[in-house]
């Protein structure tokens, strides 16, 4: 397995919570599982915050990115509504995944089901400086679609 040097402290808030895990050696994301007493039905167009039963201590200088699982999106139209959801380093509450059903059929979220991925990402905290003007760029102020489709 490739070397992983950052430590992520994980607390189970319920005994039946499933620890995040990498499905394969080369995976960037760890699977997050639903921690439920009973299944939750997501009707088409509806969303719900699905608990994982876990709390995390994200290392300083990092964020946890909660991302969709491609299989759920492809097969059922189920994805993470605010993708990627951000878990800040100072958050210690339960991790919940905001799932939405964009599919045509109701989707049943089962206890223990893998529902999302967690990717740890380092970030930079910039020093902000107000400027009276900005350097020119080729794109300039071109917005949505300005570079083509």
Measured at the alpha carbon of residue 87, what is the angle toward residues 81 and 93, in degrees to the nearest 5?
105
- Segment holding 56, helix H or strand E: strand 47-57
What is the per-residue pLDDT across 70-109, written as a single tens digit (0 to 9) for each? 999 999 999 999 999 999 999 999 999 999 999 999 999 9
Structural domain includes residue 2: no
- The CATH number for 96's domain is 2.70.40.10
Q: Check if the beta carbon of residue 66 is closer than 8 Å to that of residue 33.
A: no
Structural domain includes residue 36: yes
pLDDT for the residue 4:
67
Structural domain includes residue 44: yes
Measured distance CA(42)–CA(49) in Å, rounded: 11
Structural domain includes residue 43: yes
Q: How many domains does the chain have?
A: 1
Q: What is the pTM of this model?
A: 0.88
Domain range for 70 is: 9-122
Structural domain includes residue 143: no
User: Is the pLDDT confidence value at 40 over 80?
Assistant: yes
User: Which are the contacts of 47, defined by CB distance < 8 A and separation ≥ 6?
Assistant: 81, 98, 99, 100, 101
Structural domain includes residue 54: yes
Structural domain includes residue 134: no
């Amino acid at each position: 397995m490739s070397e992983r040097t950052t430590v992520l402290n994980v607390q189970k808030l319920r005994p039946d919570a499933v620890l995040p895990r990498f499905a394969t050696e080369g995976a960037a994301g760890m699977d997050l599982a639903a921690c439920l007493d009973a299944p939750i039905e997501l009707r088409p167009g509806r969303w719900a915050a699905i608990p994982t039963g876990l709390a995390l201590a994200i290392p300083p200088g990092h964020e946890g990115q909660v991302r969709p699982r491609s299989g759920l999106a492809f097969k059922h139209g189920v994805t993470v509504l605010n993708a990627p959801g951000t878990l800040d380093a100072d958050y210690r509450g339960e991790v919940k995944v905001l799932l939405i059903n964009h599919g045509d059929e109701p989707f049943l979220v089962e206890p223990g089901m893998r529902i999302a991925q967690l990717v740890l990402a380092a970030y930079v905290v910039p020093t902000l400086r107000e400027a009276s003007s900005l350097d020119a760029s080729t794109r300039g102020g071109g917005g949505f679609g300005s570079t083509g489709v």
